Amino acid sequence: MKRTAFFISDGTGITAESLGRSLLAQFSGVEINMLTKPYIDTLEKAQALARIIESTAGHDGQQPIIIDTIVDQQIRDEIRKAPGFKVDIFSTFLEPLEQELGTRSSYSVGRTHSIGSDDVYMDRIHSVHFALDNDDGARTHQYDKADIILVGVSRCGKTPTSLYLALQFGIRAANYPLTEDDLDEDGTLKLPKALVPHRRKLFGLTIDARRLSAIRNERRPNSRYSSMDQCLQEVEQAEALYRILHIPFIDTTRFSIEEISTRMIAETGLARRFSPR
């Protein structure tokens, strides 16, 4: 069964898409084409979109699913003229909350993802800059300012996780790659000197060697770097180091960046500088 879902907003569409995808992910047996339509903030745009939805219904032979966070009642009414199963997030939740809180909602467009507090916005920017400046062991002299330092073999997910922690939570995350340069004379992996003073900040990432080989093959096909033997050796050495030094770590193989980050925060007790967007 194939269906189309529209995530519609008079703002960025992030809230409608996030909630919509979370809800629809529960229906694995249904093939759903998901379309995000942000900034539907005029009657003309709403009318044009309603025509697209109507055309989609005719093409699919099924009414589309419409999930919206539109604030303006007139624009919402235009969208409601189109055939579809409609989930109006604001009216579903805001009206009961108004009754409970005894006050009216401001019904302001884009409040969730607006800049809001200048301090929070600048904190987000500084955290992202820190993650970029301290990517891949680039500036180890700044590690005293880091909230956490991710360690792991190349291509195990250190960089995207660092950036997600910065962007979503304002956490200053650095990351350092464990490479053959860190091997001891007996061939075992040792903790790099730059990390020794910051052991309490270290958090390890690991990954299934088969998955790692596949990822590396996309970057350097048929190389020693991407070979199964090399990947297996590096992963085993990194995990042994984590266990010997009691460094907490997560296997990233089957987790999304969001899951890796939240599990990391839960395990370490890292303080968020702000709530996720």
Q: How confident is the model at residue 200 (pLDDT cuts 50, 70, 90)?
A: very high
Q: HEC profile for 95-113?
A: HHHHHHHCCCCCCCCCCCC
Q: Which CATH architecture has domain 118-268?
A: 3-Layer(aba) Sandwich (3.40)
Model confidence pLDDT, tens digit, residues 128-158 = 999 999 999 988 999 999 999 999 999 999 9
Torsion of CA 20, 62, 58, 50, to 10 degrees: -30
156 is in an annotated binding site: yes
Please tell me which residue, 211 or 122, carries the higher pLDDT value: 211
| Helix/strand/coil for 16 | helix
Q: How confident is the model at residue 117 (pLDDT cuts 50, 70, 90)?
A: low
More confident call, 69 vs 212: 212
Domain extent listing, the chain = 3-113, 118-268
Has 11 been labeled as part of a binding site? no
Is 152 annotated to bind a ligand? Reply is yes
- Is 21 annotated among the ligand-binding residues? no
* Ramachandran sector of residue 130 (left: φ over 0; alpha: ψ -120 to 50; beta: rest): alpha
12 labelled ligand-binding? no
Using the predicted structure, report yes or no on whether residue 112 has a pLDDT greater than 70: no
Question: Annotation-wise, does 86 bind a ligand?
Answer: no
CA contacts within 13 A on the Cβ side of 126? 14
pLDDT (tens digit per residue) in 23-71: 999 998 889 999 999 999 999 999 999 999 999 999 999 999 999 989 8
